[in-house]
Structure 1
Amino acid sequence: MNMATEHTPTVVLVHGAFADAGSWSGVIAELQDHGVAVVAPPNPLRGLVSDAAYIASVASQIDGPVVLVGHSYGGALITVAGTAANVVGLVYVAAYALEEGESLGELQGRFSLSALVSNLKEATYPVEGAEPAVEVTIEPEAFPAIFAADVPAAVTKVLAAAQRPLAAGAFGEAASAAAWRTKPSWALIAGADQAINPEVERFGAQRAGATIVELDGASHAVAVSQPKAVAELILDAVRATS
């Protein structure tokens, strides 16, 4: 089935921390099979403000309407970047849906901490004209259970080795806007998520008035383990905004 018309939105897939755009491979294939145009840009993972500005820039340079999809930390970015004029819908995949003025740390702090928090490994990276900054990854041995418990072990070993670090400062930066106040949203809750407490995902999605799908037993890497289910929710958003 080809859905592409001049009014069909382009889907922009925003990956989260400890992953890269390749984590969307299965979802991209599903969407392309349905004739949907897809872009999966690299998320810089250097800070909420700068990353959201980058994603907004990517979206606003696309001709026609855009549905923004954010996984994990990417959800915080689409919440801000979604204010771009041509963004017509937001899809949160095991993600943070922040309120304006709220930080990741504040939202997470209202709920029990996930296993992720005690399994982060710190390193530093150079910052021009300033002291080195801190970035975090997940301890490789803890990565499978925390990030991708429902993904084959051979795959998780590769994913653990290819993690992209998140600047630690991103947890304290506040969202400058909440695009879900003016744009329709959809959310997938990963029921067995060990990286983000599912209650955090659920709370943000309900607050945003999102159309919610819950997948019991799904890990944080739900886009890798269940790409068809993730793509189906995105297609719902595409159909609703076409």
Structure 2
Amino acid sequence: MQRRTTAALSLVLLAATALAGCTSGDDEPDTSSGAAPTTEGAAPADPDWFCRLIESESVDAATDGRADVAREVEVLATADEYQCDVLVPTDDGESEVAMSLSMHRNIPGLADERLAEVQAIEGYTAGPEHLGVSYFADTLGVSVVPCKAEANGAEDDAEVPYVFVIRAPLDTDGATTASLFEPLTRMVKEMDQGYGCSPSKIHPIDQGQQTQAPGDDAETTTAP
């Protein structure tokens, strides 16, 4: 399975503009500073990838096989925070969040809050070393990694905490728990490439997956 990496969610843009677009595929989203989050759910440009980093198989697991009717919506896009939700319809014609992927840069107290939240869930486990301080449980994964505050900063520039969060609130049976770390790994690796993080080398995940540098559309990313 292959997909093109786009400028959407290319975290090297965070310091200069508000992020816009929660897409996958070849479309180039509007990254102008005045772009506002969308309020209507839309099908992903690539049906195999939601919020550009979540595999459809994970959405299927979280929704009992309803990835085909799921939609994605960007609910937060500022210079320091980004969130994309995957929505599924409810019987009453509304929608509910099936999965959510977000990143937060240097928000006071947020790292402690999110780590405490996941550790309060029975059966939580520590995540892989390449995700910094991280814990995973049914419905929730949290990774805290120190990265440079500015893109392409000097080696001795101070680092600030980045909090990466993946949620699957409908998956009370834990069907997606084992796969929650994969979207966070993809996100953290892009941050490491654009900003520089500690640990600076984000290990490839399942089956030697490799992720290209953000914004490089000439290459493709092979996912498991």
Report the TM-score when normalising by structure 1.
0.30
Which protein has the bigger helix share?
Answer: 1
User: TM-score under structure 2 normalisation?
Assistant: 0.32
| Structure with the higher strand share, 1 or 2 | 2
Q: Report which structure shows greater RCO (CA 8 Å, sep ≥6).
A: 1
